[in-house]
Chains A and B, each alone.
Chain A
Amino acid sequence: MNNTVLEGRGLAKTFFGGFGGRKSRVFENVSIGLCSGETLGLMGPSGCGKSTLARILLLLVKPDKGDVFFQGRRVTGLRGKELLLFRRKVQFISQRPESFFDPRIRLGDSILEPLSFYGGRRKAEEGRERLKELLAQTKLTDELLVRYPHQVSGGEIQRLSLCRALLLKPEILILDEPTSMLDVSVQAQLLRILKELKAEHGLSYLFITHDREAAEFMCDRIQVL
């Protein structure tokens, strides 16, 4: 398909040395293509390699074989400025959202930091306004921003990590179990917001989940690993 924005071709990954020196082969020859403006679901049993595949597509983990393409260009091994640009355009909500926040830094500073990094002071000011909106949309209050990561609840940090990613106005969002710590009501709200944002800004989502109902509600198609 010609409107594929993020693609992995013939990917293989084996971890060496883990498990006390064992070799663990995660997958061999996996291909995946995310089209512009779509939500692609990624499902499969625990431990099958969904998060690993996400990390490869995000250029956080190197595949043993295969390549990653972004907007038609090969990006495996990308470095320097270009890698930074890629990182801004392709954002990630980790399955363990707390791991994306420095435990010694206040949440508000962590959330706004990438923005001033990429855009300078003016962007940071705009960001503050936008963050207020995002907090309200995800049913949070800005009182949380002065706290440290261990001072908010599981579902709160999960939503804050989403705010952090959306603030950078990415083109692609990879969501790894983004509602695993949310109740049914906040989950419903969040999924609806994600749909709205997608329609508004033409985002594309790779949506990793174990929740069949959420996948069917969100996704245009589903790939099983």
Chain B
Amino acid sequence: MTEAAGRTKSGIIVDGLSVAFHLPKGDVRALDGVSAHFPDGEITGIIGESGCGKSVLGLAILGLLPSYASAEGTIMLEGQPLEPGTARRRLGRELGLIPQNPSESLNPSRTVKAHIQEALLPLKLSGKERRERARELLSAFGFPDPDPILRAYPHELSGGMQQRVLCAVGAACSPRWILADEPTKGLDKELRAQVQETLLSLRGQGVRSMVVITHDLLLARGLCRRIAVMYGGQILETGPRVLDHPLHPYSRAFLAALPENGFQSIPGTAPGAGERFSGCPFAPRCELAKARCRRERPAAYRPEPERVVRCFEYE
């Protein structure tokens, strides 16, 4: 059926996942047949243009889509189907989330301490152990003096401080899987490096695997062995050396837009979530596009080991 099936059963396997939001003014298709394998024991990065469906993919895996969304396809965790209800029950303890949006995720009327302590509940620690662990977490995420931070309310923290509190909350229980959505946004270089170090070090403490959604390509390079490139609600390329050696025309155009190449954006606009494609979603912007690309959807080709590319150039 797809690239994911038939391979090792370990990890998270997403197969043919489509997600649509049903709004009064019409449907929004956010994911369009996503198939991917996030192997156990690895850190996989997801990169791609703003609005391409990265966060929705994360929410779908964790069973956190709103009620007006519908999903087709399957998600498997370690060989078992992962239903939204099961995923939500495992949230925190086995599946940790570092969400993208601090304002929606931190409760303005509760202190940082309350947030972290609640996150630690599943561990059934004593009061003293919990306080110790909370301090430990905050100092690991760049607060050398955690005590005043524990007493603070979210609005008393700067943007970068809130971001790091979110990281601490998501990692609190050392869940086996962590899904981090833009864990370094709004941080300076030193803190970005520290968050990267801390995420890496979590792997020695019970965290086995991560999915890291990021626009921070330095973080992606430093943290992730495998990268998935998303576009228009689909994954167009995955593999271990994507950042150094991109094969898909979209991946290549995306990486050519890196600041060191002079702030050149990819010409044209990414598809809106209302658009549907029978062919390749990148065709309207692709220099190599042929008539067939607009008609037919490229299958998953494997030009080299561990690499999957959805482009006819690799047929």
Contact = CB atoms under 8 A, between A and B. Distances in A.
Interface in A118-142: 136, 139, 141
Contacts of A152: 51
Contacts of B185: 154, 180-181
B222 interface: no
Interface stretch (A16-24, A63-71, A162-170): A16-24
Interface string A183-207: 1111111011000000000000000
A183 B47 contact: yes
B272 interface: yes
B71 interface: no
Q: How large is the interface on A (under 10, 10 to 19, 20 to 34, 35 or more residues)?
A: 35 or more
A156 B53 CA distance: 12
A184 B49 CA distance: 8
B158 interface: yes
B152 A20 contact: yes
Contacts of A45: 188, 190-191
Contacts of B161: 46-47
A141 B51 CA distance: 11
Contacts of B266: 185
Nearest to A195: B263
B11 interface: no
B167 to A, nearest CB: 13
Between B21, B100, B188, the greatest number of chain A beta carbons within 10 A of the residue's beta carbon is seen for B188
Contacts of B257: 183-185, 188
Between B26, B28, B51, B161, the greatest number of chain A beta carbons within 10 A of the residue's beta carbon is seen for B51
A202 B274 CA distance: 36
A153 B159 contact: no
B104 A182 contact: no
A213 interface: yes
B259 A18 contact: no
A143 interface: yes
A19 B151 contact: yes
B102 interface: yes
Contacts of B28: 143, 151
Contacts of A185: 49, 253-254, 257, 265-266
A84 interface: no
A217 B142 CA distance: 29
A79 interface: no
Nearest to B272: A141
B305 interface: no
B50 A191 contact: no
Contacts of A154: 50, 55, 100-101, 182, 185
A44 B191 CA distance: 12
A184 B258 contact: yes
A46 B111 CA distance: 20
Contacts of A210: 160, 186-189
Given A46-B191, A153-B55, A180 B186 contact: yes
Contacts of A136: 269
B156 interface: yes
A184 B151 contact: no
Interface string B34-58: 0000000000000111110001000
Contacts of A143: 25-26, 28, 272-274
Contact of B259 (A156, A176, A184): A184
Contacts of A21: 151
Interface stretch (A2-10, A34-42, A95-103): A95-103
Interface in B134-188: 142, 148-149, 151-153, 156-161, 182, 185-188
Given A20-B152, A185-B49, A151 B21 contact: yes
A155 interface: yes
Contacts of B48: 183
B265 A46 contact: no
23 contacts: A18-B156, A19-B152, A19-B156, A20-B152, A24-B148, A46-B159, A46-B188, A47-B157, A47-B158, A47-B160, A146-B23, A154-B50, A159-B50, A181-B185, A183-B254, A184-B255, A185-B266, A187-B259, A188-B257, A188-B259, A188-B264, A189-B265, A217-B263
Closest 3 CB pairs of A and B: A155-B50, A20-B151, A46-B160
Interface of A: 15, 18-22, 24, 45-47, 50-51, 95-96, 98-99, 136, 139, 141, 143, 146-147, 150-156, 159, 176-177, 180-189, 191-192, 210-214, 217
Given A50-B158, A96-B159, A211-B259, 19 more contacts: A18-B156, A19-B156, A22-B151, A46-B142, A46-B160, A47-B161, A96-B103, A99-B103, A139-B269, A141-B272, A151-B23, A153-B55, A154-B55, A155-B50, A184-B258, A185-B265, A188-B259, A188-B264, A210-B189
